[in-house]
């Protein structure tokens, strides 16, 4: 099974594309933003949020049905604001805001992702 990466997003093979997926998107302010680089020290929560999201997905078995996207907040400002993400880091799950401005609760994140997986699989 070969995975391809386009614009920082891992694309699923054709055999898995028809499976229901849960998409977790993180909009951090630290790092490369448009034409500048925002130092990590300005948003320590951003780095912790990305680490927690990746850790939770890993603990859930790194299933191909779970997509993690890291989108720079300024580069994707219209999308972040559309989801209600006024203060980075913003975490959305399937387009619904999960948290913003703070490091998300790991247990609650695990629970919500798991519920979304069960819900998607039940409707498929």
Q: CA triplet 97, 101, 106: central angle to 5 degrees?
A: 70
Alpha-helical (H) ranges within the chain are: 14-17, 44-59, 77-82, 106-123
In whole angstroms, how far apart are CA 59 and each of 52, 66, 108, 113? 10, 12, 14, 11
What is the span of the domain harbouring residue 64?
Answer: 23-118
- The 10s digit of each residue's pLDDT in 41-68 is 888 999 999 999 999 999 998 788 899 9
Picking from 85, 67, 63, the residue whose alpha carbon sits closest to that of residue 76 is: 85
The answer to whether position 86 is within a domain reads yes
- The 10s digit of each residue's pLDDT in 75-108 is 999 999 999 999 999 999 999 999 999 999 999 9
CATH at 48:
3.40.30.10
Q: Which residue has the tokens 């594309």?
A: 17
The answer to whether position 4 is within a domain reads no
Cα(65)–Cα(83) distance, integer angstroms: 22
Name the token pair of 22. 């849960």
The answer to whether position 9 is within a domain reads no
pTM listed for this prediction: 0.81
Q: Is 21 left (phi over 0), alpha (psi -120 to 50) or beta?
A: beta
Between helix 44-59 and helix 106-123 the angle, nearest 10°, is 50
Provide the number of structural domains found in the chain.
1
The answer to whether position 62 is within a domain reads yes
């Amino acid at each position: 099974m070969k995975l391809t990466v386009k614009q920082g997003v891992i694309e699923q093979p054709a055999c898995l594309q028809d499976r229901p997926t849960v998409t977790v998107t993180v909009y951090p302010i630290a790092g490369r933003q448009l034409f500048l680089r925002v130092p990590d020290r300005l948003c320590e929560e951003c780095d912790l949020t990305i680490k927690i999201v990746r850790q939770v997905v890993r603990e859930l078995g790194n299933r191909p049905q779970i997509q993690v996207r890291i989108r720079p907040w300024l580069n994707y400002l219209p999308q972040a604001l559309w989801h209600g993400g006024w203060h980075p880091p913003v975490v959305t799950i399937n387009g619904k805001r999960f948290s913003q401005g703070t490091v998300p609760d790991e247990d609650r994140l695990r629970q919500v992702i798991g519920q979304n997986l069960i819900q998607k699989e039940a409707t498929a």
